């Protein structure tokens, strides 16, 4: 079963600011989140089962997101790109 992806307003602004070369990698990362969101790393290593996670994409990208299992949804909170 796949998860629905919901992109927070801040993350939408982050995505709009990404360089064009980052977009294919971002699309791949979103596909991974739809299928296996728990594969990301917990934002807090002391809470390995925590629902707030990060997922690296491309050469310099990082997604921060929240997994809502009950709703089968992933809320993308922050999209960062180190240039």
Mean pLDDT across the stretch 56-70?
97
Contact call for residues 28 and 18 (beta carbons, < 8 A) = no
What pLDDT band is residue 83 in, cutting at 50, 70 and 90? confident
In percent, the amount of the chain with pLDDT more than 70 equals 100
Residue pair 42/24 in contact (Cβ under 8 Å)? The answer is: no
Question: Given this model, what pLDDT does residue 76 score?
Answer: 98
Whether the model pTM is above 0.85: yes
- In the chain, the domains with their CATH numbers are 4-81 (3.30.2310.20)
pLDDT score of 4 more than 90:
yes
């Amino acid at each position: 079963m796949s998860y629905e992806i919901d992109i927070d307003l801040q993350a939408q602004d982050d995505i709009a600011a990404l360089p064009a070369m980052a977009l294919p990698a971002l699309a791949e990362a979103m596909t991974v989140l739809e299928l296996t969101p728990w594969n990301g790393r917990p934002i807090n290593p002391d809470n390995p089962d925590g629902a707030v996670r990060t997922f690296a994409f491309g050469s310099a990208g990082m997604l921060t997101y929240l997994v809502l299992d009950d709703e089968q949804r992933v809320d993308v909170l922050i999209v960062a790109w180190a240039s």
